[in-house]
Amino acid sequence: MIGLTLGPLLHHWSPDKRRDFYARIADESPVDCVHLGEVVCSKREPFTEPYLPEIAERLRAAGKQVVLSTLALVTTEREIQAIRDHCEAGFLVEANDVSCLRALAGRPHVIGPMVNVFHEGTLAYVARQGAIRIVPPPEVSAAGIGVFAKHAGAMEIEVPVFGRQTLSVSARCYHARSRGLHKDNCLITCGGEPDGLPVTTLDGRDFVVVNGTQTMSHGYVVLLREMAGLIAAGAARVRITPQDIDMVAVSRLVRETLDGGIDAEEATARLGTLTGDVPTVNGYMHGREGLAWVPAVG
């Protein structure tokens, strides 16, 4: 059976909202793997780390695999040591920064989509280092997924099929800057936008979404129609990324589509009732610009 993963929560939600979210995922969602951990900003970690053991235990009790995702920009020895500590605590770790690879070498681990793996040579390198699963960067097309699968050996290929794409991560905090604040005294202002801060062009067109130090696609990636082809090409798992909508309903739609219980076109239409006014995109998967929406053929 094709695996279904819930990727890490990239936005800053309150501890109560986060705990309620993962409780529902544990009790009601068909995902079989859940990523925890802070990816975007280390200043958020004190709000969530105290609850990690409780959340992880509840998810494991529900039969979910728990993976801990690392920061996308690791800058201190303390942050590297935290990765070692998580490994010693028994977590499977997802690396989202190349500085993590040395700490994870020789241990089973996941390579996240923020590590730039774009060709077979790098794929072979991370496999030798102990990677058991890889999530290619968002720019990798369906053709590229097929190439990866041919050279992945025993390593699983996991493809994100729903949620905003991370386009870049910076040492600067755009979210704080938009409020006239400095990163060192940001007041955790990113918590005010649970689905990110929309950015428009000078002529008023929707462009991207800012999430702390992270720049994301304005639209949600939706690849339900492409899943069958990706699986035929060798993808072993698909991933959904948490957004501020009913993610239990999203996960059920994806699972039902994977299992053949619903047509992909119908599932895509139903998903549109959950995503509201946020546009859908799939351009990168078709070798196009990322913000494009390529309609169904025929």
Structural domains present in the chain: 3-163+220-278 (3.20.20.70)
pTM of the complete model: 0.95
Task: Give residue 49's pLDDT.
Answer: 84
Instruction: Please list the residues that pair with 217 across neighbouring strands.
Output: 208
The closest of 44, 90, 50, 47 to 68, measured between CA atoms, is 90
Q: pLDDT class for 298, splitting at 50, 70, 90? A: very low
Gap between the Cα atoms of 243 and 251, Å rounded: 12
* 231-288 pLDDT tens trace: 999 999 999 999 999 999 999 999 999 999 999 999 999 999 999 999 999 999 999 9
The residue whose two tokens read 């050279």 is 151
Lowest mean pLDDT, pick from 130-144, 178-192, 239-253: 178-192
Instruction: Name every residue whose Cβ is closer than 8 Å to that of residue 53 and which is 6 or more positions away in sequence.
Output: none
**Amino acid of residue 144:** G
Q: Please tell me the distance from the alpha carbon of residue 268 to that of residue 293, in angstroms, as a whole number.
A: 13
pLDDT digits (tens, 9 = 90+) for 77-111: 888 888 888 878 788 999 999 988 888 999 999 99
Over residues 203-224, mean pLDDT: 93
Which of the 8 DSSP states describes residue 131? E
Averaged over 137-151, what is the pLDDT? Answer: 94
pLDDT one-digit tens code per residue, 166-183: 999 988 888 888 888 888
Q: What is the mean pLDDT of residues 124-143?
A: 95
Q: How far apart are CA 286 and CA 144, in angstroms?
A: 10
What is the Cα–Cα distance from 14 to 51, expressed in whole angstroms? Answer: 11
Sign of CA dihedral 145, 148, 31, 138: negative
What's at 86, amino acid-wise? H
With tokens 């939706």, the residue in question is: 222
DSSP 294: -
Strand partners, 200: 206
Asked if 222 and 162 count as a contact pair (C-beta separation under 8 A), the reply is yes
Please provide the average confidence, as pLDDT, over all residues in the chain. 92
Place of tokens 């990110």: 196
Percent of the chain with pLDDT over 70: 99
**How far is C-alpha 73 from the chain's CA centre?**
15
Please tell me the predicted confidence (pLDDT) of residue 297. Answer: 60
Amino acid (one-letter) located at 1: M
The segment with the largest mean pLDDT, out of 181-195, 202-216, 258-272, is 258-272
Asked if pLDDT for residue 123 goes beyond 60, the answer is yes
